Amino acid sequence: MAFDIEMIEKVYATMAERVDKARELVGRPLTLSEKILYSHLWEKMPTQAFTRGKDYVDFAPDRVACQDATAQMALLQFMHAGKKTVAVPTTVHCDHLIQAKVGADADLSRAKSQSSEVFDFLSSVSNKYGIGFWKPGSGIIHQIVLENYAFPGGMMIGTDSHTVNAGGLGMLAIGVGGADAVDVMSGMGWELKFPKLIGVKLTGKLNGWTAPKDVILKVADILTVKGGTGAIVEYFGEGAESMSCTGKGTICNMGAEIGATTSTFGYDDSMRRYLNATDRQDVVKAADKVADYLTADAAVYADPEQYFDQLIEINLSELEPHINGPFTPDRGTPVSKMKEEAAANGWPVKIEWGLIGSCTNSSYEDMSRAASIVEQAVAHGISPKAEFGINPGSEQIRYTIERDGIISTFEKMGTKVFTNACGPCIGQWDRAGAEKEEKNTIVHSFNRNFSKRADGNPNTHAFVTSPEMVAALAISGRLDFNPLTDSLLNDKGEEVKLNPPKGEELPSKGFDVEDAGFQAPAADGSSVDVVVSESSDRLQLLAPFEPWDGKNITNAKLLIKAFGKCTTDHISMAGPWLRFRGHLDNISNNMLIGAVNAYNQETNKVKNQLTGAYDAVPAVARAYKAAGVPSIVVGDHNYGEGSSREHAAMEPRFLGVEAVLVKSFARIHETNLKKQGMLGLTFANEADYDKIQENDTINFLDLTEFAPGKPLAIEFVHEDGSKDVILANHTYNEGQIEWFKAGSALNLIAAGKA
Ligand code: SF4
C-alpha cells in the first residue's frame, strides 16, 4: 500500500523547469493551481499559455482512484484496452456497497455475502492489472487516499466526485467518469477545459465552536451549488495556514457541493505534520526541496484580485458555526439564526439522529473534538436526546480512536459504530421506520443532504454541520439549540453549559492499525483469471461496440424527445439501480426512464412507431434494436448535467441509439457520448427542436463527410410525408471522429491506435 515515492520524486524533478517555462509564457506570477496544471501537461514542457475557461488541454495525472460502484464499469472497459497493467498507479476501494444497519461487524459480513461476486471481481481484476485493492471494511476512498497517496503538487483523477478531498494535501484531485479513468489507466492523456480560478483568502483564526467545516459551509452559502462550476478554488492566507491538513481536506471535499472542478491549498506545516504522522517522511523531504513550487508566487497572494477570476475573503475569527440545509448544502444558517429560521420554515426542531464521519469529516481531530463534547455530557449526567452513529473513514482511524478511548466515549452515549464505509452518506442506511416517510430532522457531518440521500425518506430534513456541532445538537435533541449561548438540563434538572470542543489535530501516540485491509496486486498478473459468471445479474463482460459502417444513418426512429431538465439521473437513475452498475444489459433497463416525453409530458412512456403502442423507453429501444432500426434521442438544454457516470452514454449506445441531438450538452456527458462512439449533436438553430415530431423517420444526409467544424444535415420525414432538413453542429475533432468510426474510443485503444 506504500505510496510511490519514486513517482513523486519524478514529478518534483521536472516541476521547477516546467513551472518556470509556464511563468515565462503566461508573462506573470502564477497561482498554485496554475503551477500544478502546467507541470502536468500531457505534452510535458509548456509551449503556450492557455486561456482559462476556454482552452481544452490534455493532462497527465499521477494517479487514479476508483470506488466499488463506479470501478465495475471502468474496469470492465479497461479489460478491453488490451493492456497488461495500468499505466499509472491506481487503486480500487470497496466502500459504497456496504449498508449500515445494526453495526460494523454484522453489516460488513452481510455486505460481503450480498456483494461477494462484485468484490471478488474487483479484487481479481486489480490483482491482474497491477491495481492496489482496498477490501470492504478498509475505509472510504478519499480518506484512504489522503492517508496514503495524496501529495503536495500532485494531480490525480478519481471516479467519484469527492476525489477533490485530496486538495487538503495540496493536490489537484478531480472527479471523472469511468471512461476518463480508463484513458489514463491505459496510458493516454486526459482532457480538461483549463479551469477558471476562484481565490478564497482566509484571515484570522478559527476559535471556540467554529471548525474548518464552517468555512466551506459559508463558501457554499456564498457561491451556491453552481458557483464553482468550471473553476478551481484556491485557499490561502494566515487562516489557511492555521488550519490542520485534515480540516483543509474537509473544505476541499465539499468543493464538490459548489460544483467546483476541484479545490486546493498551498504546501505548509500542517501538511508536513500530517505526512509525518502518516509515515511519509520521504514525501516531506522531497516536497521541501521544491516548496516554492508547491504554493503560489508571493505576488499572487499579495494582490490576489489581479490573479483570480473571483475573490472571496472570510475572517475566521468572526465566522460562526453554520448549519446548512435542509435538502441542499448551500442553504447556510449561522447557529445564532437557526431558532428563527427553523420556526419560519416549519423545519422539525426535534432531532432524531446525529451522524458523524464519512469521507468528509472523520479525521482524528474531528473525532476527538466531537468526543470532547460527549465527554462533557456524560460527566454532567446529560442523557442524549437523539440517536447517534459514526462511520469512521478508515480502519486506521477506527483502530486509533478505539485505542485512544474515543470510541468508548461515544459508546457511553449508546452510539452505533457502523462499518468504515459510506453507509448513510449514500443512502446505504437501513434506518428503522424510514419507510413510513415521516417528517423528521437529522444532523450529520457529511457533505450532501439532498432529499432521500441518507435514508430514502423524502421527508427527512438533513442538515450538514461540523462533527462537534452534530454532537452538541444530537445531545440536546434540538435543531435550534445554540451551544454558544444555551444551556442543557442534566438528569438532576440542573442547567449545564457545554464548553467549546477541544481536540488533538493528530494522535499523540501516532496512528496505528493492525490490518488496514489492503491487497497488493500480483507482481505478474498475466496468469490471474478474472471470472465473471454468465448467469450473474450484477456483472457482465462487455462486448466491443460495432464500428461505423461508413454509411449515412437512415430510416432511424425518434425514441424520445425529452422535455426540460434531463440530467444523468434522468438518463441512468441511481438508488436501487446501483446494484446493476457492472451489468450493462440489466442497467440499460433504466435508460431515460426519468426523462419527460415532450409529447405527453409523462415519464417512461413513449410511442413505439413499429406498433403504434406506448411503452417504457427501454422496451421501445429494445424493440427498435431487435428490428434492426436505429433510433435517436432529442433533448433540451444542458442535457446530461449532474454526475459523470458513463452509463448514461453506454446504455443508449447499447440499446441502438445512434445520435443524441439537443439544444446544449453538459460537457462531461457530451465527452462520454463521443467516447462510446455515438453522435452528440446540437441544433444549429435551437428553434428546430420544435420541428421534431413524434412519428418522425430520420435520415442523415452527409455523415459520410463527417469532419471537424462542419455541421451535419439531417432530414426529418414527418408522418404526412412532409420533410424538414435541419443542421446539427458538433464539436468533434479529428481524433474524436476516429472514436466514432471505430465504434468507441476504447476500440481504438484496444487496436493500439490511440
Ligand atoms: Fe461519497 Fe459519502 Fe462515500 Fe464520501 S462517504 S465517498 S461523499 S458516498
Question: Tens digits of per-residue pLDDT, 423-472?
Answer: 999 888 999 999 999 999 999 999 998 888 888 899 999 999 999 999 99
Nearest CA to ligand 1 atom 2: 425
The full DSSP string for 188-231 is --EEEEPPEEEEEEEES---TT--HHHHHHHHHHHHTTTTTBTE
Close Cβ partners of 241 (under 8 Å, ≥ 6 residues apart)? 268, 269, 270
pLDDT in tens, 484-512: 999 999 999 999 999 999 999 999 999 99
pLDDT in tens, 78-108: 998 989 999 999 999 999 999 999 999 999 9
Give the Cα separation of 229 and 418 in Å (integer).
Answer: 34
- 56 has pLDDT over 90: no
Close Cβ partners of 486 (under 8 Å, ≥ 6 residues apart)? 476, 497
pLDDT in tens, 114-153: 999 999 999 999 999 999 999 999 999 999 999 999 999 9
pLDDT of residue 177: 85
From the CA of 176, how far away is ligand 1's center (Å)? 15
Maximum distance among all alpha carbons in the chain? 85
pLDDT of residue 3: 65
Q: Which atom of ligand 1 is nearest to the CA of 142?
A: 6
Contact 606, 694 (CB under 8 A): no
Region 297-324: what's the mean pLDDT? 98
Contact 649, 659 (CB under 8 A): no
Does the annotation mark 95 as catalytic?
Answer: yes
3-state secondary structure of 365: helix
Does the annotation mark 643 as catalytic?
Answer: yes
Q: In percent, how much of the chain has pLDDT > 90?
A: 89
From the CA of 453, how far away is ligand 1's center (Å)? 11
The full DSSP string for 584-626 is HHHHGGGBTTTSEETTTS-BS-EE-TTTS-EE-HHHHHHHHHH
Beta bridge partners of residue 354, listed in sequence order: 388, 443
> In 3D, which of 586, 592, 598 has the Cα closest to residue 562?
598
Give the Cα separation of 82 and 735 in Å (integer).
Answer: 20
- 625 has pLDDT over 80: yes
3-state secondary structure of 370: helix
Region 257-265: what's the mean pLDDT? 94
Q: Does domain 11-317 have CATH number 3.30.499.10?
A: yes
Nearest CA to ligand 1 atom 4: 359
Q: In percent, how much of the chain has pLDDT > 70?
A: 99
Place of cell 500531457: 42
Q: For ligand 1, pick from 359, 366, 418 the residue to mutate: most ligand atoms within 8 Å of CB.
A: 359
pLDDT in tens, 399-423: 999 999 999 999 999 999 999 999 9
- 248 has pLDDT over 60: yes
> In 3D, which of 171, 215, 174, 231 has the Cα closest to residue 32?
171
Whole-number CA gyration radius for the chain: 26
* Active-site annotation holder among 40, 280, 431, 448: 448
User: CA dist 352 to 413, 479, 717, Å?
Assistant: 14, 10, 58
pLDDT of residue 101: 94
**pLDDT band per the 50, 70, 90 thresholds, residue 569:** confident
Three-state secondary structure readout of 439-478: CEEEEECCCCCCCCCCCCCCCEEEEECCHHHHHHHHHHCE
Average pLDDT score over the chain: 95
From the CA of 155, how far away is ligand 1's center (Å)? 20
Place of cell 503536495: 152
* Active-site annotation holder among 62, 68, 107, 160: 160
Provide the pairing of β-strand 172-175 with 556-563. Answer: unpaired
- 1 has pLDDT over 70: no
Q: Which residues of 504-520 are buried (b: 16+ CB within 10 A; e: fewer)?
A: ebbbeeebebeebbbbe
Three-state secondary structure readout of 68-105: HHHHHHHHHHHCCCCCCCCCCCEEEECCCCCCECCCHH
**pLDDT band per the 50, 70, 90 thresholds, residue 2:** low
Give the Cα separation of 166 and 40 in Å (integer).
Answer: 16
Neighbours of 735 (CB within 10 A): 13
Q: Sketch the domain layout of the chain as residue ranges.
A: 11-317, 323-331+344-494, 556-750
Same fold? 323-331+344-494, 556-750? no
Give the Cα separation of 733 and 749 in Å (integer).
Answer: 17
pLDDT of residue 533: 87
Nearest CA to ligand 1 atom 3: 422
Output the nine-digit C-alpha cell for 585.
444489459
Class for domain 556-750, per CATH?
alpha beta
How are strands ordered across the β-sheet holding 132-134?
172-175, 155-158, 63-67, 90-93, 132-134, 518-519
From the CA of 248, how far away is ligand 1's center (Å)? 17
Place of cell 449545564: 496
Beta bridge partners of residue 16, listed in sequence order: none
* Active-site annotation holder among 68, 95, 404, 696: 95
pLDDT of residue 268: 98
* Active-site annotation holder among 643, 644, 667, 696: 643
Give the Cα separation of 98 and 115 in Å (integer).
Answer: 9
Give the Cα separation of 461 and 457 in Å (integer).
Answer: 9
Contact 141, 96 (CB under 8 A): no
The alpha carbon of 729 is separated from its chain's Cα centroid by a whole number of angstroms, namely: 30
> In 3D, which of 710, 701, 752 has the Cα closest to residue 734?
710
The residues lining ligand 1, judged by C-beta closer than 6 Å to any ligand atom, are 95, 140-142, 160, 162, 358-359, 422, 425-426, 446-447
Place of cell 484531485: 173
Please state whether 15 falls in left (phi above 0), alpha (psi between -120 and 50) or beta.
alpha
- 181 has pLDDT over 90: yes
- 753 has pLDDT over 80: no
The CATH H-level (homologous superfamily) assignment of domain 323-331+344-494 is: Aconitase, domain 3 (3.30.499.10)
pLDDT in tens, 592-624: 999 999 999 999 999 999 999 999 999 999 999
From the CA of 357, how far away is ligand 1's center (Å)? 10
**pLDDT band per the 50, 70, 90 thresholds, residue 747:** very high
Q: Which atom of ligand 1 is nearest to the CA of 357?
A: 5
Q: For ligand 1, pick from 216, 361, 447 the residue to mutate: most ligand atoms within 8 Å of CB.
A: 447
Contact 75, 125 (CB under 8 A): yes
**pLDDT band per the 50, 70, 90 thresholds, residue 483:** very high
Does the annotation mark 529 as catalytic?
Answer: no
- 393 has pLDDT over 90: yes
pLDDT of residue 428: 87
Sequence letter at residue 608: N
Q: For ligand 1, pick from 140, 355, 360, 362 the residue to mutate: most ligand atoms within 8 Å of CB.
A: 140
* Active-site annotation holder among 52, 96, 142, 667: 96
Least confident range from 47-51, 585-589, 644-648: namely 644-648
Long-range contacts, 679-686 (Cβ 8 Å, 24+): 679/712, 679/730, 679/740, 680/730, 680/731, 681/712, 681/714, 681/728, 681/729, 681/730, 682/728, 682/729, 682/730, 683/726, 683/727, 683/728, 683/729, 684/711, 684/726, 684/727, 684/728, 684/729, 685/726, 685/727
